[in-house]
């Protein structure tokens, strides 16, 4: 009997990897295939970027080969970071002593994020006509996109740009939504709105397209009312013709302290959102009677006044939403008609960065769940249209990250990058701890005191020198995060947990507009304050709110 050929563990691993790829339906699956190498993050060049840039594809979804829809077509594509850069940040996280920063360090202007001289635009759809074939149109779009990326990289040194979308397919979704829509809802997170408001996009929509933009300051419950008013006035001063609306899908859970309670999603409770009526009023002002929006107003008032007992919804609300799935052909050869309010229908496009709550806004406007919601960036894969009423149509677009000049750590805390995909989360934890009193709020005990002085509890921990790595170790000790085999402290899991607390709004890090610290007293006594408090559904009095701010200032520094 012939001797069996040796089969090593490495070969077995390759065999299992090939089986998994075949099960997902990858073509050319195998350990040495091109797809396999791409999934391992190696160099690749396609229409998603220029030929000289490494791209990391995020959020791989399994799918059957015979399936009609590829869920990975619109997955996030970000520029790949080198191993040297990742290791350098890990070393800094272990060695750099964290020092609390003053409140002025949180003040940021829109020119700090999108400097005009850097040419931080976005790819535009090239001109086309119906005489062109589908293949020629796609080639022209690919060529235009490559030229845009080459120009962007030539103007900005390597490593100076923050994370931004490199997937052409996702940009195509934006083009279609902008062409289809009459009014654009640009949705941002109130905690860091300037990070998610590209001036180039606003100027393109209002200038070249001749359409109106409504800025939706979402998640207003995660921000103190004075800061909400300050951001609203700052954006108005920068863009005088911009319609601005504050919005929250979780009224009654207003901002309290730096450490927030978990935002509980009650089942089928989308009809109690704060802000839909303000969006209606903004649309009425823009349309100026050219579209009959009375049915929308009736729907909002009916949904707001409906009594929901035991999670029950109105039956007629389930029949009023017609969902349309857009095919590739319809999107690619869509007419670039400039006719607004075609057939007496107002089409509202919802666009914004990942994780700003676009799907939640749509669900709140419809007053029931029609779009799946996830805290993972890039959850919405393709756009759909929803008929809110016979004369109002909503259009949902996947989240897009525009080029900018901002710390990547701040981008991660803003939720644009999936936490589970991070190679090095520790520097982002350090960024958070320098701007919020994390040690005292989470009651962390310094790792050096765990063994030497276990009887002291957390006493003396605040006076110790903390690094980002120490914070992760202390949180892992407090939560009981251990590795499976060696039972060591799982600092990576602890870092991910801290970042999720920040992204979910439980560890509240809010940026501030320029000059907020000097005018803080003015915003705290602003006449519009009761309106924002009513929007949030806040029940505490002003004196209680002031007490909370004083408590935060007694710590290292609070977030307002």
Distance CA 95, CA 247 (A): 41
Q: Map residue 51 onto helix, strand or coil.
A: coil
Beta carbons of 397 and 307 less than 8 angstroms apart: no
Q: Using one digit for the tens of pLDDT, what is the confidence trace for 111-144?
A: 999 998 888 999 999 988 888 888 999 999 999 9
Whole-number percent of the chain with pLDDT over 90: 38
Q: How confident is the model at residue 445 (pLDDT cuts 50, 70, 90)?
A: confident
* Strands in 190-306 per DSSP E: 212-218, 243-246
Of the two residues 451 and 469, the one the predictor is more confident about is 469
DSSP per-residue codes, 121-140: --PPPPP--TTS-HHHHHHH
For range 461-475, the mean pLDDT: 88
* Alpha-carbon distances of 257 from 220, 271, 300, 436, rounded to whole Å: 14, 26, 32, 11
Q: How confident is the model at residue 311 (pLDDT cuts 50, 70, 90)?
A: very low
Q: How confident is the model at residue 314 (pLDDT cuts 50, 70, 90)?
A: very low
Distance CA 215, CA 235 (A): 9
Query: Which structure tokens are listed for 361?
Result: 């806004």
Q: Using one digit for the tens of pLDDT, what is the confidence trace for 138-165?
A: 999 999 999 999 999 899 888 888 889 8
Q: How confident is the model at residue 272 (pLDDT cuts 50, 70, 90)?
A: low
Q: Out of 171-175, 200-204, 245-249, 309-313, which region has the weakest mean confidence (pLDDT)?
A: 309-313
Number of H helices, E strands in the chain: 21, 9
Decide: pTM greater than 0.75. yes
Is the model's pLDDT at 90 over the cut of 60? yes
Distance CA 360, CA 1 (A): 67
Q: Using one digit for the tens of pLDDT, what is the confidence trace for 211-255?
A: 999 999 999 888 899 999 999 999 999 999 999 999 988 776 656
Q: Using one digit for the tens of pLDDT, what is the confidence trace for 18-46?
A: 887 777 655 443 444 434 333 333 333 34
pLDDT at 494: 95
pLDDT at 178: 93
* Alpha-carbon distances of 174 from 38, 48, 201, 394, rounded to whole Å: 26, 15, 11, 14
Distance CA 189, CA 192 (A): 6
Q: What is the 3-state secondary structure (H, E, C) of 159-173?
A: CCCCCCCCCHHHHHH
For range 186-210, the mean pLDDT: 94
Q: Which helix (DSSP H) or strand (DSSP E) does residue 524 occupy?
A: helix 520-524
Is the model's pLDDT at 1 over the cut of 90? no
pLDDT at 39: 39
pLDDT at 307: 43
For range 284-292, the mean pLDDT: 92
pLDDT at 462: 72
The average confidence (pLDDT) of the chain is 78
Distance CA 524, CA 517 (A): 11
pLDDT at 14: 83
Is the model's pLDDT at 65 over the cut of 60? no
pLDDT at 56: 74
pLDDT at 467: 93
Highest mean pLDDT of the ranges 199-208, 293-302, 418-427, 501-510: 199-208
Q: Out of 88-92, 124-128, 336-340, 350-354, which region has the weakest mean confidence (pLDDT)?
A: 336-340
pLDDT at 349: 93
Highest mean pLDDT of the ranges 259-263, 314-318, 469-473: 469-473
Is the model's pLDDT at 286 over the cut of 70? yes
Q: How confident is the model at residue 460 (pLDDT cuts 50, 70, 90)?
A: low
What phi and psi, each to the nearest 5 degrees, are found at residue 368? -165, 165
Highest mean pLDDT of the ranges 33-47, 77-91, 505-519: 505-519
Of the two residues 410 and 385, the one the predictor is more confident about is 410
Is the model's pLDDT at 370 over the cut of 60? yes
pLDDT at 557: 37
What phi and psi, each to the nearest 5 degrees, are found at residue 58? -120, 150
Q: How confident is the model at residue 377 (pLDDT cuts 50, 70, 90)?
A: low
Q: Which helix (DSSP H) or strand (DSSP E) does residue 351 occupy?
A: strand 346-352
Distance CA 471, CA 18 (A): 39
């Amino acid at each position: 009997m012939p001797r069996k050929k040796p089969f090593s563990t490495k070969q077995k691993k390759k065999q299992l990897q090939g089986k998994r790829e075949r099960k997902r339906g990858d073509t050319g699956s195998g350990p040495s295939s091109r797809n396999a190498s791409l999934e391992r993050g190696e160099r690749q060049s396609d229409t998603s970027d220029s030929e000289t840039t490494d791209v990391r594809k995020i959020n791989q979804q399994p799918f059957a080969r015979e399936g009609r829809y590829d869920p990975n077509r619109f997955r996030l594509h970000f520029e790949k970071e080198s191993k040297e850069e990742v290791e350098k940040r890990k070393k800094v996280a272990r060695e750099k002593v964290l020092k609390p920063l003053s409140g002025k360090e949180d003040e940021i202007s829109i020119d700090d994020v999108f400097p005009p001289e850097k040419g931080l635009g976005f790819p535009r759809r090239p001109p086309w006509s119906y005489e062109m074939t589908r293949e020629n149109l796609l080639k022209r779009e690919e060529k235009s996109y490559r030229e845009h990326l080459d120009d962007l990289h030539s103007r900005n040194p390597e490593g100076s740009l923050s994370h931004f979308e490199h997937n052409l397919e996702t940009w195509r979704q934006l083009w279609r939504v902008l062409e289809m829509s009459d009014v654009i809802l640009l949705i941002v997170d109130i905690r860091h709105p300037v990070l998610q408001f590209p001036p180039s996009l606003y100027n393109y929509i209002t200038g070249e397209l001749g359409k109106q933009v409504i800025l939706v300051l979402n998640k207003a419950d995660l921000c103190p009312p004075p800061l909400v008013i300050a951001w609203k006035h700052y954006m108005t001063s920068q863009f005088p013709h911009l319609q601005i609306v504050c919005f929250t899908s979780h009224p009654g859970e207003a901002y309290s302290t730096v450490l927030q309670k978990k935002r509980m999603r009650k089942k089928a409770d989308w009809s109690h959102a704060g802000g839909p009526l303000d969006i209606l009023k903004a649309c009425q002002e823009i349309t100026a009677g050219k579209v009959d929006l009375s049915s929308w107003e009736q729907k909002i008032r009916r949904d707001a006044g409906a009594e929901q007992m035991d999670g029950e919804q109105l039956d007629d609300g389930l029949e009023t939403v017609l969902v349309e799935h857009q095919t590739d052909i319809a999107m690619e050869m869509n007419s670039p008609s400039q006719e607004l309010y075609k057939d007496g229908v107002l089409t509202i496009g919802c666009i914004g960065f990942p994780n700003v709550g676009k799907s939640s806004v749509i669900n709140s406007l419809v007053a029931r769940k029609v779009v799946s919601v996830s805290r993972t960036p890039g959850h919405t894969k393709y756009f759909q249209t929803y008929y809110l009423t016979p004369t109002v149509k909503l259009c949902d677009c996947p989240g897009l990250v525009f080029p900018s000049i901002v710390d990547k750590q701040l981008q991660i805390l803003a939720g644009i990058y999936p936490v589970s995909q991070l190679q090095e989360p520790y520097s982002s934890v350090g960024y958070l701890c320098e701007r919020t009193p994390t040690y005292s709020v989470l009651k962390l005990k310094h790792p050096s005191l765990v063994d030497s002085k276990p009887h002291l509890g957390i006493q003396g921990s605040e006076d110790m020198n903390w690094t980002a790595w120490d914070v992760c170790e202390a949180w892992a000790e407090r939560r009981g995060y251990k590795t499976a085999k060696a039972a060591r402290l799982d600092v990576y899991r602890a870092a991910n947990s801290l970042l999720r607390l920040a992204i979910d709004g439980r560890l509240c890090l809010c940026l501030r507009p320029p000059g907020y610290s000097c005018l803080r007293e003015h915003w705290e006594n602003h006449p519009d304050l009761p309106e924002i408090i009513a929007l949030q559904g806040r029940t505490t009095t002003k004196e209680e709110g002031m007490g909370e701010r004083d408590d935060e200032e007694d710590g290292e520094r609070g977030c307002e």
